Amino acid sequence: MLRKPKSKRRSGCPVSVSLEMIGDRWSLLIVRDLMVRGYRTFKEFEESGEGVATNILSERLHKLKSTGIIATGVDASDGRKVNYRLTQKGIDLAPALLELLIWGARHEKTEASCAAIAKMTQHREALLNEVRARWKNNDPRPLQVNGHWVWP
Amino acid sequence: MLRKPKSKRRSGCPVSVSLEMIGDRWSLLIVRDLMVRGYRTFKEFEESGEGVATNILSERLHKLKSTGIIATGVDASDGRKVNYRLTQKGIDLAPALLELLIWGARHEKTEASCAAIAKMTQHREALLNEVRARWKNNDPRPLQVNGHWVWP
DNA sequence: TAAGATCACTTGCGTTTTGCAAGTTAGATT
DNA sequence: AATCTAACTTGCAAAACGCAAGTGATCTTA
């Protein structure tokens, strides 16, 4: 009479459910790297400047995969490399990530310039469309808009 | 020659900075309770249904206060009670919280109805304005729009 | 083709954070 | 005065994290 452990949720609130998937200090940084920096490999995430430990990075990548936020594939031209990419569910985090960025930039001292923040706030939809377009085209270039760096 | 520990940041990226403040599985739930449920006291947060341990709740409240996201005051009519409230910085989390809610509701099974999600997505700005207005008026009623419950 | 590099992880281990239960204190209620 | 309640603390075990050092498969170079 064994029953499944059935990973229990704290509640049915969407915010709570979201936080159970990405509510930690690393997951969204990986999503950011994939979404706007064009990073694709373990090594790139590792060297992204935030200082993740490799075991934590590995665990987060697995969790993001198991929750359907990212997907993986072995690199065609280098069998050692694993290429990570955002799924639809993953790219759908773009609005939340952008709002988090705007909030942080507005209330703390960060690398983002005031001009960049103003631009992001004013052209929110255009920026999101750009992010989505690059994702669709599998465009690995870091995000720019009108030839300017928009992302810190 | 003692120097301040000087809490060091991982990086100057606004996303990273934001996550250092609210990147855990509890902080944003407290913000949610304050923002849309009209909760004000320790006890209400404790009984919000997510199952926070009281020591964690206490610690998070202190952290949210120290980062300027919430403020406190002793209740005028009951000296035992501490009333918590969002600061401007705290209410500015509304867009991020909403996007997180929409994302979670779209990609996971939650308590939020499809209709409610559609409404929230379509009337995003109106909803945010409502949230801000209630905050300005210190209106403690749970969030409704057009007489309907919008929040799960 | 043999000897490194490189990439994507694991593993061990000590530290920190979390979760759970129980206790404490100031202020309210009866 | 005795009890109750709100908002915490405290203690302790368990889980998560951070760091350094491996490991194994796959290129690259001599």
Give the mean pLDDT of A92-106: 98
Give the mean pLDDT of A123-135: 96
Give the mean pLDDT of B50-70: 98
Q: Which residue has the tokens 């994939």?
A: A34
CB-side neighbour CA atoms (13 Å) of A124: 13
Shortest Cα distance from B62 to chain A (angstroms)? 18
% of chain A with per-residue pLDDT over 90:
82
Alpha-carbon gap, residue B72 to B138, rounded angstroms: 14
In this structure, are residues A28 and A22 in contact, taking their beta carbons and an 8 Å threshold?
A: yes
DSSP A36: I
User: What's the whole-number average pLDDT of chain B?
Assistant: 91
Topology (CATH) of A17-149:
Arc Repressor Mutant, subunit A (1.10.10)
Q: Which pLDDT band holds residue B87 (cuts at 50, 70, 90)?
A: very high
Shortest Cα distance from A24 to chain B (angstroms)? 4
- Quick check: B54 CB within 7 A of strand C? yes
For residue B148, give both structure tokens.
Answer: 């309907």
- Quick check: B81 CB within 7 A of strand D? yes
- Quick check: B24 CB within 7 A of strand C? yes
Nearest protein residue to nucleotide C21 (CA to C1' distance) is B53
In this structure, are residues A25 and B20 in contact, taking their beta carbons and an 8 Å threshold?
A: yes
- Spell out the residues 6+ positions from residue B115 whose beta carbon is closer than 8 angstroms to its own: none
CA of A134 to C1' of C5 (A): 33
CB-CB neighbours of A73 under 10 Å: 11
Residues 79-108 of A with CB under 7 A from strand D: 79-80
Alpha-carbon gap, residue B100 to B105, rounded angstroms: 8
Give the mean pLDDT of B46-69: 98
pLDDT at residue number B4: 40
Q: Is A135 helix (H, G, I), strand (E, B) or coil?
A: helix
Alpha-carbon gap, residue B13 to B22, rounded angstroms: 14
Q: Of B139 and A29, which is predicted with more confidence?
A: A29
Alpha-carbon gap, residue B134 to A126, rounded angstroms: 30
b vs e for A95-113, b when ≥16 Cβ sit within 10 Å of the residue's Cβ?
Answer: bbbbbbbbbbbbbbebebe
Phi, psi angle pair for B108, to nearest 5°: -135, 160
Q: Which pLDDT band holds residue B151 (cuts at 50, 70, 90)?
A: low
Count residue pairs from A and B with Cβ separation < 8 A. Answer: 144
Domain extents for chain B? 17-149
Alpha-carbon gap, residue B16 to A104, rounded angstroms: 8
For residue A63, the chain B residues in CB contact (below 8 A) are: none
Best A6, A7, A8, A18 member to test B by mutation, with max B CBs in 10 Å, is A18
Give the mean pLDDT of A67-73: 98
CA of B74 to C1' of D1 (A): 27
Shortest Cα distance from A109 to chain B (angstroms)? 8
- Quick check: B58 CB within 7 A of strand D? yes
pLDDT at residue number A5: 43
CB-side neighbour CA atoms (13 Å) of B114: 0
Strand-pair category, B70-74 with B82-86? antiparallel
For the entire predicted model, the pTM comes to 0.93
Best B107, B111, B119 member to test A by mutation, with max A CBs in 10 Å, is B107
Q: Which residue has the tokens 């202190």?
A: B62
pLDDT at residue number B1: 45
pLDDT at residue number A150: 60
Digit-coded pLDDT (tens) for B92-128: 999 999 999 999 999 999 999 899 899 999 999 999 9
% of chain B with per-residue pLDDT over 70:
89
Give the mean pLDDT of B6-20: 88
First to last CA, chain A: 55
A72 - beta bridge partners? A84
In this structure, are residues B68 and B22 in contact, taking their beta carbons and an 8 Å threshold?
A: no
Alpha-carbon gap, residue A94 to A152, rounded angstroms: 16
pLDDT at residue number B2: 36
